[in-house]
Amino acid sequence: MRSSLLHAMALAAAVTVSGPACAWLIYPDRDDPDRLIVEIERPYGDRVPLGNLPQPFNMLVRGQAGGQSLLFRWPYEREAIGSASLDVDLTGQGHIEFEFVARNLVDGQRLGAAAVLVAKDGTPLHTFYARADTLGGVFDDGTKFHSVRLALERPPAWWRGVDAIVFFNMSYHPIQKLDDAGVWAAMQRAVWNVTKGQGTEQRGFGD
């Protein structure tokens, strides 16, 4: 336990010193030591430069890297936990999977998440959006777990041009009286300071 804690603290310190990452903490997954977890602290615009991550996690195109994987995770206050994992193979086929795990949801609440891929010069390249609606304190499919998987194919050189991932999470309540289109529009407004409407985008509800 002491060894794992020191390892996590060292990784967090390395991120703090080497650049302007806002990721709160990086540590090994307790249940899968080969996986690193990046805790996202701020709900809007937490930027994680890939170059700040330890090898081999500091590049998206990693090919056959064994069982090592990277998970980004954030809290929705006491309501839920969100996470995302992004994998890209040597051909340039990428997949991102968002997961939402309910804690104490409000009936009719909508949870959202977005990940913006950004080039070194700050140009927004692509935005992934994911959403999970609730019904009666669970997700609308009757469970406390919801996943959204999106695929994106680009040349490997394009993926190598991604310098950072900027994360956003959103929560919309029934009192806001947003219809389906209104929720998506609100999610786009949330990322506008980063995207300025540029780059391609995808959005999904789940399976």
What's the CA gap between 22 and 12, in Å, rounded?
A: 10
Instruction: Please tell me the predicted confidence (pLDDT) of residue 2.
Output: 36
- 7 has pLDDT over 80: no
- 67 has pLDDT over 90: no
What's the CA gap between 64 and 103, in Å, rounded?
A: 35
Instruction: Please tell me the predicted confidence (pLDDT) of residue 104.
Output: 86
What's the CA gap between 72 and 169, in Å, rounded?
A: 12
Residues forming a β-bridge with 88? 61, 94
Share of the chain above pLDDT 90, in %: 54
130 Cβ contact list (under 8 Å, min separation 6): 84, 98, 100, 112, 113, 114, 148, 150, 203, 204, 205, 206
Instruction: Please report which confidence band the pLDDT of residue 57 belongs to, taking 50, 70 and 90 as the band edges.
Output: confident
CA-nearest of 33, 1, 26 to 12 is 26
Tens of pLDDT, residues 81-90: 999 999 999 9
Q: Which amino acid is at 35?
A: R
Structural domain count of the chain? 1
Sign of CA dihedral 174, 180, 182, 184: positive
Instruction: Please tell me the predicted confidence (pLDDT) of residue 141.
Output: 83
Tens of pLDDT, residues 13-22: 344 434 444 5
CA-nearest of 41, 38, 187 to 201 is 187
In angstroms, what CA-CA distances link 163 with 125, 134, 158, 159, 179? Answer: 10, 34, 11, 9, 35
Query: Tokens 């990693």 identify what position?
Result: 62
Mean pLDDT for 28-33 is 84
Tens of pLDDT, residues 74-112: 999 888 999 999 999 999 999 999 999 998 888 888 999
Residue-range definition of the domain harbouring residue 163: 2-204
CA-nearest of 120, 132, 118, 130 to 193 is 118
Instruction: Please report which confidence band the pLDDT of residue 24 belongs to, taking 50, 70 and 90 as the band edges.
Output: low
